[in-house]
Amino acid sequence: MSTPLTTVAWLTWRQLFARRRGWLAAAIVVLPFILTFFYRLGSEDREGDRLIFMLNMNREVVLGVLLPLTAVIFGATAFGGEVEDGTLIYLLVRPVDRWKAAISKYLVSVAVTIAVMIGAVLVAWFALRTEELPFAVPRAFIVASALGSLAYCALFGYIGLVTRKGLVIGLLYVILFENIAARGFEGAKSLSVREFAVSLAQWAGDGVVKWQQPGVSMTTVWVVGSIILGGALALTLRKLARYEMAERL
């Protein structure tokens, strides 16, 4: 017999893959492979080129675009679908603590995001694998994507809870802050989950993953990243706890 938390997790899982989001997840997994395929067609395949290509593609495409996009799609939808159609109240009256329901939904969105990113990283690596591309390369980006997913899903989950336009606001955040402000202003980098993920990839890369430009310090990654994660989750729990006093979410 399923427990209330199991039911919440299962309903969240079904909700996340409704409305063709499963096809979007599949497209995200396949995109790095397509880029790798065209690289192999047009590359002279000199020594070291594959490693440079794999590092740049994972940094700019996987961590810079696909990771936040996937987190927006699944993180903002964890609560966003119920906020949009007005059925959130039916979740809150279930015999389960609200904080447990919130954490359950958050963990499902994180698990889905990580699974999609693992597929995207590994499929491209298998298509280009050679001795100069040890498993340390995909492992580093999987670790970076996994830890980045924790912060992104917490942030986008809260946005999806407080507004019916969670997907739109999340996409604007990714475009305007992560891919414009954080690239152009040094101060913004210290608040960018994307920059945290880039530094995490180098940290987990066993010396294989290296960047010419210095990234965010690991102290900043752990401290500011933890604040973003904890703050977003705390705001989400507070919003749910105060739901009765609000006229609407």
Tens of pLDDT, residue by residue over 215-231, are 789 999 999 999 999 99
Q: What average pLDDT score do residues 81-108 get?
A: 65
- Looking at per-residue pLDDT, the higher value among 132 and 223 belongs to 223
Q: What average pLDDT score do residues 191-202 get?
A: 94
Q: Please, which pLDDT band fits residue 25 given cuts at 50, 70 and 90? A: confident
Residue 84: per-residue pLDDT: 56
Q: Please, which pLDDT band fits residue 166 given cuts at 50, 70 and 90? A: confident
End-to-end CA distance of the chain: 32
Domain extent, residue 207, equals 4-245
- Percent of the chain scored above 70 by pLDDT? 79
Give the distance from CA 2 to its chain's centroid: 29
Does 85 have pLDDT greater than 70?
no
- Looking at per-residue pLDDT, the higher value among 53 and 93 belongs to 53
**Count of domains for the chain:** 1
Residue 97: per-residue pLDDT: 67
Nearest partner of 120 among 83, 148, 84, judged by Cα: 148
